[in-house]
């Protein structure tokens, strides 16, 4: 696939989505202060970010509201308390997980909601449920994406089948998701090609959501971008589950569209992200995440090891290599 | 340029060079214990690493031997005290800086030395001096490389001129060096192509030495490799000046040649690298390095900021953006 764009110009189809609350919320159970969320909203507007994801729309019958901050549930009213009528160019997104969202009830018609984009997260084997959610959100007036998770463990033929189902659905965009942070840039190149082919055939845009287990979140994001992928997820200081995500400061340092501003992001990182770390939130590249990424495994064992501040990397390796 | 190799097989031309002492020595002024160096030598042999760089051969008339550990000077006798006759497959390298090495006197004939490879480090504007050093080392019987530093600030035409001079010299290999950690994979792709063209024309191999300012050291190393570059520098836990280098554990996790062993590297990292960090040695990705990388500047301001544990990233940005 030929390179799209170059290092001097910019592609107007590029959109940046800030997933700090949603993926970062997996680090601190979504306990962010209102001040933090308001400041994040303001900095995203100022930095020219295109979308800000406020969290999951999780089912309150399944998850105890007393055990999580409100952004796991992301009520329209809670979003509105931050953004008012959102009279800005920044669009608002939420994520809805297959099997963990009572979407028929909890996702309201778009004209009653501050939300613009509903991102449906699914595994390859739950595509029919994902499509039902996409159709529901589409009917209610939302832009929609489908984020197919854990593709590093799925067969290409199954992924192709899922992409074809999505092509025929009303979904607007399809995301490449490297859930385990196990993919290398040359794999991202091939996967991008596969997704973009379907995207061009059916008129869907393609997005990228990366994890930093092998210090490749930023590299894989710009590799996808170079191949034609246009929606790019990033988080402030890379905050996200385990090894975290593509760092917003790295991504905005790379993008050439003059609407994107790095400086306010640095101000936000210094004022809000550094204190979060100092208060004990733990994320970012570390050897246990490298090991689960290398082994193409879910990072849960590495998250536990990091929380326990384990440095016995070789014993950890022996434990997890025996898991399969 | 077509991709060389794939993710399932391995290329026998790939060589891994451990630069932990040499680039990591810039972090701790080369004060490593003998136990550390002996263990590093053993783990490199066990892990199948091809070359181990013991340090610089710096001029003792220019640098005070009381202010640096011995690996800044890397006497043949000091190397021999570690490796004996080096009856292994691991080759030994040293680095000699243009203008900072009394090579005619301090680099002895190869048959009197445990060293196999002399790597000459130069800027583009000191190529004649570098070539004189290369010719001297070649005459004395060594394998030689030339590592052209700071190429992100040099003109392509000057680099091309330097490559042509090297092509006509007796040098064995030429290294791409991203001194400021400012280059992106698509630039590495183009630079690799330029270097490989000269390499193929004159029969020289090409190497890659990356820095991690933008979390791209590993990504740029495997990008270069994918394009045909064959000598790859890495360091244990990425130890190196400022943001550090490509981490050995990431690189060996990627390479498919069964001679490379990740596990002993994890053991070494846990037993020797973690204590170094706990004792106060500071290296690795941090926002100030990202800023100097982004601005294509020498990392010295970022190193100072990191030592002072500065977190006022936006003020730091304003200070360094005004420097030019």
Inter-chain CB proximity A185 and B223 less than 8 Å: yes
State the DSSP H helix or E strand holding residue A174, giving kind and residue range, or none if neither: strand A173-177
Strand (E) positions, A109-153?
A: 117-122, 143-148
What does the pLDDT look like over B232-291, one tens digit per residue?
999 999 999 999 999 999 999 999 999 999 999 999 999 999 999 999 999 999 999 999
What span, in angstroms and rounded, lies between the C-alpha atoms of B272 and B275? 6
pLDDT in tens, chain B (324 residues): 578 888 888 899 999 999 999 999 999 999 999 999 999 999 999 999 999 999 999 999 999 999 999 999 999 999 999 999 999 999 999 999 999 999 999 999 999 999 999 999 999 999 999 999 999 999 999 999 999 999 999 999 999 999 999 999 999 999 999 999 999 999 999 999 999 999 999 999 999 999 999 999 999 999 999 999 999 999 999 999 999 999 999 999 999 999 999 999 999 999 999 999 999 999 999 999 999 999 999 999 999 999 999 999 999 999 999 865
Q: Report chain B residues whose CB lies below 8 A from the CB of A250.
A: 214-215, 290
What does the pLDDT look like over A78-130, one tens digit per residue?
999 999 999 999 999 999 999 999 999 999 999 999 999 999 999 999 999 99
Is A1's pLDDT higher than 60?
Answer: no
Taking any CB pair shorter than 8 Å as contact, residues of chain A touching chain B are 3, 7, 184-187, 212, 214-220, 222-223, 226, 237, 247, 249-250, 253-254, 262-263, 266-267, 269-270, 274, 285, 287, 290-291, 294, 311-314, 317
- How many residue contacts between A and B have a Cβ separation below 8 Å? 106
User: What pLDDT, on a 0 to 100 scale, did the predictor assign at position A8?
Assistant: 82
Instruction: For A27-92, give the DSSP string.
Output: HHTT---HHHHHHHHHHHHHHT-SEEEEEE---TTTS-GGGS-GGGT--HHHHHHHHTT--SS-EE
User: What pLDDT, on a 0 to 100 scale, did the predictor assign at position A5?
Assistant: 85
Asked whether the beta carbons of B36 and B82 are under 8 A apart, the reply is: no
For A185, name the nearest residue in chain B, comparing CA atoms only: B219
Own/partner pairs, A58-66, CB within 8 angstroms, 24+ separation: A58/A97, A58/A100, A58/A101, A59/A100, A59/A101, A59/A102, A59/A106, A60/A102, A61/A102, A62/A100, A63/A100
Token pair, residue B210, equals 């990356």
Q: Which of A92, A61, A243, A162 is nearest to B215 (CA)?
A: A243
Q: Which residues pair with A93 in a beta bridge?
A: A53, A117
What does the pLDDT look like over A216-233, one tens digit per residue?
999 999 999 999 999 999
Q: In a 3-state reduction of DSSP, which class is residue B234?
A: strand
User: What pLDDT, on a 0 to 100 scale, did the predictor assign at position A324?
Assistant: 56
What does the pLDDT look like over A29-64, one tens digit per residue?
999 999 999 999 999 999 999 999 999 999 999 999
Confidence of residue A323 (pLDDT cuts 50, 70, 90): low
Token pair, residue B6, equals 């794939």
**How do strand A91-97 and strand A117-122 relate by DSSP bridges?**
parallel
Taking any CB pair shorter than 8 Å as contact, residues of chain B touching chain A are 3, 7, 184-187, 212, 214-220, 222-223, 226, 237, 247, 249-250, 253-254, 262-263, 266-267, 269-270, 274, 285, 287, 290-291, 294, 311-314, 317
Please state which CATH number belongs to domain B15-278: 3.20.20.70
User: What pLDDT, on a 0 to 100 scale, did the predictor assign at position B323?
Assistant: 65
- What is the rounded end-to-end Cα distance, in angstroms, of chain A? 35
Q: Which of A117, A16, A123, A13 is nearest to A74 (CA)?
A: A117
Contacts of B101 (CB under 8 A, 6+ apart): B56, B57, B58, B59, B107, B133
Domain range annotation of chain B: 15-278, 287-321
Q: How far is CA B296 from CA B150, B178, B181, in A?
A: 9, 10, 8
CA angle B270, B273, B278 (to 5 degrees): 100
Q: In a 3-state reduction of DSSP, which class is residue B224?
A: helix
Is A184's pLDDT higher than 80?
Answer: yes
**So what's the ipTM on this one?**
0.94
What is the pTM (predicted TM-score) of this model? 0.96
Asked whether the beta carbons of B166 and B198 are under 8 A apart, the reply is: yes
Q: How far is CA A245 from CA A24, A190, A221, B179, in A?
A: 9, 21, 10, 25
User: What pLDDT, on a 0 to 100 scale, did the predictor assign at position B231?
Assistant: 98
- Residue B247 DSSP symbol: B
User: What pLDDT, on a 0 to 100 scale, did the predictor assign at position A79?
Assistant: 98
What does the pLDDT look like over A132-179, one tens digit per residue?
999 999 999 999 999 999 999 999 999 999 999 999 999 999 999 999
Confidence of residue A7 (pLDDT cuts 50, 70, 90): confident
For A311, name the nearest residue in chain B, comparing CA atoms only: B270
What does the pLDDT look like over A261-280, one tens digit per residue?
999 999 999 999 999 999 99
What span, in angstroms and rounded, lies between the C-alpha atoms of B321 and B98? 29
Inter-chain CB proximity B214 and A250 less than 8 Å: yes
User: What pLDDT, on a 0 to 100 scale, did the predictor assign at position B322?
Assistant: 81
């Amino acid at each position: 696939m030929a390179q799209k764009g170059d290092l001097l110009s910019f592609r107007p189809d590029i959109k940046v989505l800030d997933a700090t609350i949603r993926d970062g919320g997996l680090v601190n159970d979504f306990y962010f202060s209102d001040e933090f969320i308001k400041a994040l909203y303001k900095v995203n507007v100022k930095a020219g970010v295109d979308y800000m994801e406020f969290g999951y729309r999780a089912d309150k019958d399944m998850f105890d509201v007393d055990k999580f901050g409100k952004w796991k549930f992301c009520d329209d009213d809670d979003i509105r308390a931050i953004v008012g009528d959102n009279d800005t160019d920044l669009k608002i997104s939420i994520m809805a997980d297959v099997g963990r969202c009572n979407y028929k009830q909890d996702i309201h018609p778009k004209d009653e909601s501050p939300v613009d984009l509903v991102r449906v997260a699914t595994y390859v084997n739950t595509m029919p449920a994902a499509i039902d959610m996409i159709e529901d959100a589409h009917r209610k007036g939302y832009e929609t994406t489908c984020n197919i998770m854990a593709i590093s463990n799925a067969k290409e033929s199954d992924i192709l089948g899922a992409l074809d189902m999505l092509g025929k659905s009303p979904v607007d965009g399809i995301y490449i998701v490297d859930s385990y942070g196990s993919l290398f840039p040359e794999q991202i190149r091939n996967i991008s090609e596969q997704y973009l082919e379907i995207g061009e055939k059916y008129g869907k845009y393609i997005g990228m959501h990366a994890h930093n287990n092998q210090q490749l979140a930023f590299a894989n994001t710009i590799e996808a971008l170079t191949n034609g992928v246009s929606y790019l997820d990033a988080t402030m200081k890379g905050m996200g589950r385990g090894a975290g995500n593509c760092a917003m400061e790295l991504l905005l340092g790379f993008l050439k569209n003059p609407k994107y501003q790095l400086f306010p992001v640095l101000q936000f990182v210094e004022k809000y992200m550094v204190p979060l770390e100092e208060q004990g939130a733990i994320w970012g590249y570390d050897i246990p995440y490298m090991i689960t990424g290398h082994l193409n495994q879910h990072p849960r064992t590495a998250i536990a090891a990091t929380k326990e501040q384990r440095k016995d990397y070789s014993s950890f390796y022996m434990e997890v290599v025996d898991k399969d």
